Each structure stands twice: as structure tokens, then as C-alpha cells.
Structure 1
Amino acid sequence: MENKNASPDSGGTGAEVAAATVTSLPAPKEKLKKGNREVLTDLYVSENVQNEPTKYKYKVFVRLNAKDKHFKRISFEHCIFDACYMNNCVFDTCDFTGCKFIGSNFHQTAFTGCTFDYATFERCQIDDDILRSEAPHQENLRMRFARSLRMNYQQIGDAKAVNRAISLELQATSMYLLKSWSSQESYYQKKFGGLKRASQFVKWTDFWILDFIWGNGESILKLLRTIIIILIAVTLYDTARNGNLLHVDDILSAFKNAPGEFLGITSPRNFSPGVSDSLVTARLVSFALLTAMLVKRFGRR
């Protein structure tokens, strides 16, 4: 009997044709493939290492040990240092781009001319001179580098290093915000184009005002400067209200009264209600800022 399902051209049955069609489809590509990262556990460095641009990339070093060793021109790009102990070593012109340091101890280890772009630190013992000598040049990378080290020093309870990291972070943040709306560099032009520049200007203005008033909570000297400016303003207003700005004696007399009026010890002489209220507000805000600063300082210890 003739098979009605057979193709006149292929000479096979319909099932055979369907099977041939299925087997001819390309196999789906695997989305996840095994990378080239290698885990090295419980090793120690027996001699100095230098001039290795590729051999130590993309490694996971677990409990790596080294003492009194010199590493020069080594690329550790995107490596992970987990629970490593590097005692009195020197890393000279090494590349730590994208590295992650976890629970490692770099006791008396020095870094000179190294690259730490996108590097992060967690619970590591590392000298804070790395903040001065090895911070990235780009403001955004410098800011994140200092922030990561600040959190690291907070985890190990190193209050002095925390303060230094915060100082570097604030400097980098200030420059980054300034360039984000004013710089003509291609990076800032692409990242903050159009109306984003107006938003960045507002952020920079807010940051600059707080930095001028009290150093964003990190400078007692700047807060004292702000209080002195307030006292000068009170002196000038008092002199204009109750004396003559052209007479030095009137200015000196008003300046002597200004601290008492600012602290609320003496009542202001013939001040308008608005100025009196502003003076009380300035006094309360100044005390609040000073208290917050002291709490932050002693809270890190």
C-alpha cells in the first residue's frame, strides 16, 4: 500500500523527515563558561619575585605567606587575597587593579608606585601611609579607595587611620563634585551631560557649605572659624545699632560684648527681634554641631 505521508522527493516517511529536521537544529550555546581563575591555598613565597606581567593574574590566594620578600613589577590584577600574611615585604610598581583584600595582615609591608584602581579592603591590617602614597590619581577612584580603607580601619578599630581616610575621602569628593559640573574632561562630559550638571552643582554647593561651616563634621578649626565669623557679624551689627562704625572704641566695646551675647550670658543691646532670633538659632546650631563632632570623634575609639 502506498504511504500517503511520504515525501515524493525525500523518499522517507514523515517521522523520518521530522527527526532529520530536529537533529539538524544547532545546539543552544552555554551562557556560563568556566573562567581562568585559579585558587592557590596554603603557599609561601620562598624568594623574591619580579617581572611577572601575567603569571599571577586572576588568582585567589588563600593563606598565602611571605616574609622579608620583594615583589617588583608584578601584575595581581583582579586577584583575591584571603587571610594572607605578608610580613615586612615590599611591593614595588605592582598592579592591584580590581583586587580584593579580605582579613589579610600586611605587617610593616610597604607599597611604592603600585596601582590600586577599584581595589577593596575588608578587615585588613595595613599601614595608613598607603593613603598618602598609593591613592589613585582620578578623583572618583581616589574617593572610593579612601572610602574602602575607611570602612576597613573602622572594622579593625584604628581611629587615627579612620580620620586620615575620611580626610582623603572628603578632599576627593569635593574635587569630584566640582569637576562633575565644571570640568570639560570627556569622562565628566559623558557621565554628567545636560541637566545632570545642574543637579551636580546643587550637590557641590551643599557639600561646600557644610565643608565651610564645620568641615563636614571633621574639622573643629572650621567650626571655630564659623563661630568667629558670627561674632564679627554680631560686633558689626551691635556697633551699627548702638554706636559708630567709624569709631574704633565702639567696635572694640561691641566685640567684647559679642561672646556673652552669642552664648546667651548677656542680653543683646537693642537688637531687632529677627536678629535676636537668628543669634539664638546660630548658638543652638553651633552647640549641636560641636556635640555631634565630639560624639563622632570619641565614638570611633
Structure 2
Amino acid sequence: MTNENSPAQSTLQDETISSKEKMPRKELLRGNREIVTDLYIGSSIENERNDYAFKVYIRLNGRNQMIRKVSFQHSVFDGCYFNSCTFDSCDFTGCRFVGCNFHQSSFAGCDFRYVVFERCQIDADILQREAPREENLKMRFARSLRMNFQQMGDAKAVNQAISLELEATEHYLKKSWSSKESYYHKKYSGWKKLYQFLKWIEFKILDFIWGNGESIIKLIRSIFLVILLITLYDVSQFGNAWDLKSYIASLTASPGIFFGIANSHQYPVWLSSAIAATRLIGFAFLTAILVKRFGRR
């Protein structure tokens, strides 16, 4: 005798296992999220703290309506259209906006913590007026809107979002190693503070050199400072430190030395190599900035 199962028994066992896999585990419970489809806001809504939260709004429309002190916590807005609507003191914590159009709509005093935007038409003034106060949340808020504006091809709004993101990042990195607040104290304790301090130093250095990839003016300033250093070295080694004409002559010749066009004096190999490396890095930074600028258009 053998213990092999018949084909019918094997098929039954496979179907039983498959049905068990499809059934949700007991730890997973049904949520209270309700799907609302193809509705229109017919009148103003005010002081509703719970009735509009935890919903999935699909193709919700509204025009010239006031929505005040309404909680939309952890809701999803998919393909919604709001024309000239005003959102005052609304709670959008944890919401997700996908393919929505906020044509001429405005926000005042709303809570946008943990919000995600995707392919939405929305004015860039929301960056300064409605950004969360916490640096880490402001950083993520600006990043989400930056990606959203990139998807919509709004280059000017992308630049504004990047500026806010960099500002929030700088404050966050500084607070991560210097702040006494409980959030930073618990998250970055011990040697983590040193690591955050080094990240902050790196951020500040790159910001000074080229604005973390966003400022041509800062890059030109950095190149000019390098030319000044070349001038000082040239005067100290080959000129008269007490003669103004030596500084003028060296300053006139320093751009040619930096760009590798001409050099009337023999510099040490290490210094010539350092100048050449700085020149190549400067060109690479300039190219990166120009590619990013024109790539957004």
C-alpha cells in the first residue's frame, strides 16, 4: 500500500490552501474608509470635524464654495476639481491628492502635515502660506510639491519649492545636533549628533560654494574668491606686497591662470594641479546647474 493521494484529493488540498491564502489574517481588520464618487459640493461646509474624514473622494467637484473648519484627515482625493473654492482652517493631515485641479482656489490656516501631491494643478503660494512649522514636515511638504510641479512642468514653482526645501533642510540638520527639543534629543542621541553635525557642515559648505546646486551667483562668487587667492599667492611669491600695482597686475593675470590660458610664472606642481582640479569642478558644477535649469522647462 502507498500513502500517495489521488489526483482529486491533491486538487482539493490545493484549493483549500489557495482559499486560506486569499482570506485576510485575523490581525487585519476592515477599515472605515468610505468611497465617495461623482458628487458636487452644493453649499458651504463649516465646523464638520468628523463626517468628511477617512474618505476616498473620486471626481468630487466644487465651485465658489467656502469650506471652513472641516476635517479631511487621511482622505484620498482622486481627480477632483475645485474652482474658486476657499479652504479655511481645514485639516488635511495624511491626505493624498492625485490629479486634482485647484483652479483659483485658496487655502488659509490649513494643516498639511504628511500630505502627498501628485499631478495636481495648485498655486505655488501654498508653499509659503501653508507649510507645516516643523522643519522635518516642512521639508517633506516642499519635496512633495516640488515633485508635483515637476510633473506639471511648472519650472518657476519648482524653484520656489526647492528653495523652501533647502531652507527647511538646513534648519533641520542644525537642530538635529544642537536643539534640546525632545524629538531631536531622542532621535539623535550620542554619536548620532556628531554625524548630524558633519552633515550640517557639508550642507553649509556646499551651500556656500554653489547653493547646493541652485545658485549660479554663488558659484561665480566662489570662482572669484579662488581668483583672489591666486592673486594673493602670486603677489606674495613674485611681487611686492607693499605695492598696489603688484596686486592690480596679479589680479589682471589671475583669471588667465585659473582658466589655464596663460601663466607668466612657474607655479609648483601641487598648486597648478589644485587650480586645474578646481577649474574642472567649477565647470562641472556650472554644467549641472544649467542642465537642471533648462531640464525643468
TM value normalised by structure 2: 0.89
The equivalent position to 1:190 in structure 2, one of 186, 206, 209, is: 186
Equivalent residue for 1:201, pick from 197, 201, 212: 197
Which of the residues 40, 43, 48 maps onto 1:47?
43
Deviation at 1:241, TM superposition (A): 1.0
The code of the aligned residue for 2:128 comes to R
Q: Give secondary structure in 1 for the equivalent of 2:217.
A: helix
* Alignment-derived partner of residue 73 in structure 2: 77
Report the equivalent of 2:134: 138
For residue 152 of structure 1, what is the amino acid of its counterpart?
Answer: N
Which ranges of structure 1 fall in alignment gaps of 5 or more residues?
1-28
Greater displacement, 237-246 / 120-129: 237-246
Asked if structure 2 preserves the Cα contact closer than 8 Å seen for 1:268 and 1:276, the reply is no
Identity %: 55
How many aligned positions are there?
A: 273
Correspondence 1:1-301 to 2 at 5 A: 30-301=26-297
SS at 2:62 equivalent: strand
**Runs of 4+ with deviation above 6 angstroms:** none
Give CA deviations for 1:2-57 in whole Å, capped at 9, x if unaligned: xxxxxxxxxxxxxxxxxxxxxxxxxxx93222222111100000111111111111
Q: What is the CA-CA distance between 1:268 and the residue it aligns to? A: 4.9
Task: Tell me which amino acid in the other structure corresponds to 2:99.
Answer: G
Q: Deviations over 1:155-194 (max 9, x none)?
A: 1111111111111111111111111111111100000011
Structure 2 unaligned regions, length at least 5: 1-24
Contact 2:116/2:144, CA 8 A, preserved across alignment:
yes
Tell me the SS of whatever aligns to 2:40.
coil
CA shift, 1:270, in A, is 3.2
Return the letter of the residue paired with 2:100: S
Give secondary structure in 1 for the equivalent of 2:41.
Answer: coil
How far apart, in 2, do the equivalents of 1:245 and 1:167 lie?
Answer: 42
CA displacement 1:50-88 (0-9 Å, x = unmatched)? 111111111111100001111111111111111000011
Alignment CA distance shift 1:92-1:268 (3 Å): farther
Measured in 2, the distance between the counterparts of 1:71 and 1:268 equals 72
Distance (Å, rounded) in 1 between the aligned partners of 2:28 and 2:184: 34
SS of aligned partner of 1:57 = coil
Q: Is the Cα contact below 8 Å between 2:253 and 2:263 reproduced in 1?
A: no
Q: Helix, strand or coil: the match of 2:173?
A: helix
CA 1:280–1:87: 2 relative to 1, 3 Å: same
Letter in 1 for 2:269: P
- Larger radius of gyration, structure 1 or 2? 1
1:248 shift after superposition: 1.6
Distance 1:80 1:183 in 2: 35
Distance in 2 between the 1:33 and 1:268 partners? Answer: 79
The aligned residue for residue 16 of structure 1 is none
Taking only aligned residues, the RMSD between alpha carbons, in angstroms, comes to: 1.2
